[in-house]
Amino acid sequence: MTIRFPKAGVGALLALALALAGCANNAYLASKSYTASGGQMESDIATANSNLATAQQTNVQLKQDVALRNEAIERDARRINTLNGDLNAQDAQLKRALQAKKVSQSRHAELKRQLDSIRQETQNADLENQRAKMAKTPDPKADAAKEAHLRDLEKRKKDLDTALKALTAN
C-alpha cells in the first residue's frame, strides 16, 4: 500500500520542514554564540560577579552599621542607668539634708521637683532608647535628639548635685 499526498500538501510539508530546520539552526547558532569564548555569557557572568561583589560589600557595611548602632544604644542604656542610680542617691541625700535640717522645707520641695523632673525625663529617654532598639531602620534625627536630651539631663543632674553638695557642706 502506497500513500499518496496531494502535490500541494507535499510542498507545504516540505516548506514546514525547511522552516523548522531554519528555526532549529538559528537557535543552535544563537546558543553557540552565547557560550563561545568571549561571548555574551562571559559578559553576563562578569556582570553577575560584579553585582555579587557590590552586594557583599554593602552587606558587610550594613552589618558594621548595625553593630555600631547597637553599641550606641547599649551605651545610652548604660548612661540612663547611671543617671537613675545617681538620681536615687541624690534623692536619699536630699532626704537626709531635710531630716538634718540643713535645708528648708521650701528649698527641699524645689530641689525635689527638679529631681523628679529629671527622673521623669530620664524615663522618657529610656523609652526613646528602647524604641530606637526596636526600630527597623535608624532615625538619625531622633538619635541626635536623644543624644542632646541625654547630655541635657546629665548637665541638669550635675547642677542638682552641685546644689545638694552646697547644702550638705553647711
Chain segment 103-144, per-residue pLDDT in tens = 999 999 999 999 999 999 999 999 999 999 898 888 889 889
CA–CA gap between residue 68 and residue 5 (Å, rounded): 81
In the chain, the amino acid numbered 126 is: D
48 domain residue, yes or no: no
117 domain residue, yes or no: yes
Residues in CB range of 70: below 8 A, 6 or more apart: 133
Which pTM was predicted? 0.68
51 domain residue, yes or no: no
pLDDT band at 168 (very low <50, low <70, confident <90, very high): confident
* Residue keyed to cell 548635685: 161
104 domain residue, yes or no: yes
CA–CA gap between residue 38 and residue 131 (Å, rounded): 54
12 domain residue, yes or no: no
Please give the grid coordinates belonging to residue 137: 531602620
For CA atoms 15, 20, 26, 28, give the dihedral sign: negative
Number of domains in the chain: 1
Please give the grid coordinates belonging to residue 113: 521637683
154 domain residue, yes or no: yes
Show the domain range for 88. 56-170
**What 3-state class would DSSP assign to 31?**
helix
Per-residue pLDDT, 167: 81
68 domain residue, yes or no: yes
For CA atoms 21, 27, 29, 32, give the dihedral sign: negative
131 domain residue, yes or no: yes
